[in-house]
Amino acid sequence: MSSHPATPATRLIRLVLELRQSGITDATVLGAIERVPRERFVPPTFRHQAYENVAVPIGHGQTLSQPLVVARMTEALALGDRHKVLEIGTGSGYHTAVLARLSRRVYTIERHRPLTVSAENALRELRIHNVTARVGDGMLGWPEQAPFDRIVVAAAAAEPPPALLEQLALGGIMVLPIGTQERSQMLYRVERTAEGFVGAELAEVRFVPLLPGAGAELTG
């Protein structure tokens, strides 16, 4: 047997197989994950972990979610190529890139300017051009672009932010973690119907808290 370390391509294939074995069945979601080089979104110190099913620190108290969580959230969104998506919490831009492969346009909001800049650079390098990013308060959403067919939130709140519920289109789906850091958090899929909002539990998760306002570097 060869003692050479596995190439990123080999590790990516292994990761996709692991996701499939963990219950991710949507071929379009698995295909999008296969087409996004996760190592481009991981800090150099953690690059060796790019294709392991683990969360990775990206600075500013933020993390890049484990691939299984990204896949589960994306699958729950049931994305189509005509959908307009709002993402709260750009982070490294990895999940943004996956969403961009599956939808018409992604609007993404991040509290921390340095993360936004680095995510935009990575997306540009990968020639992903259907993303608009901005620094701001994710709890307020992006009213000028509402309504959104899909909304995904990468930070946990005690309850769904009212502004985001308002900005979800009729028939639209929002996927978000609900709970606090002290107590367990649950990933929910919320659908807006003519009668109101219908929620379903997906899985237990662990996310950073959803905070109001933008990061300190905006005002510092």
Active site residues: 65
Pairing, β 196-205 against β 185-193: antiparallel
In the three-class reduction of DSSP (H, G, I as helix; E, B as strand; rest coil), residue 102 is classed as helix
Phi, psi dihedrals of residue 173, rounded to the nearest 5°: -125, 135
Of the CA atoms within 13 Å of residue 76, those in its CB half-sphere come to 24
| Measured distance between the N- and C-terminal CA atoms of the chain, rounded to whole angstroms | 55
Chain centre to alpha carbon of residue 155: 9
Structure tokens at 200: 């379903």
In our burial notation (b when 16+ CB lie closer than 10 A, e otherwise), range 124-146 reads eebebeebebebbbbbbbbeeeb
In the block, tokens 């979601």 appear at: 29
Residue 110's contacts (CB-CB under 8 Å, 6 or more residues apart) are 89, 90, 91, 116, 119, 133, 134, 135, 136, 138
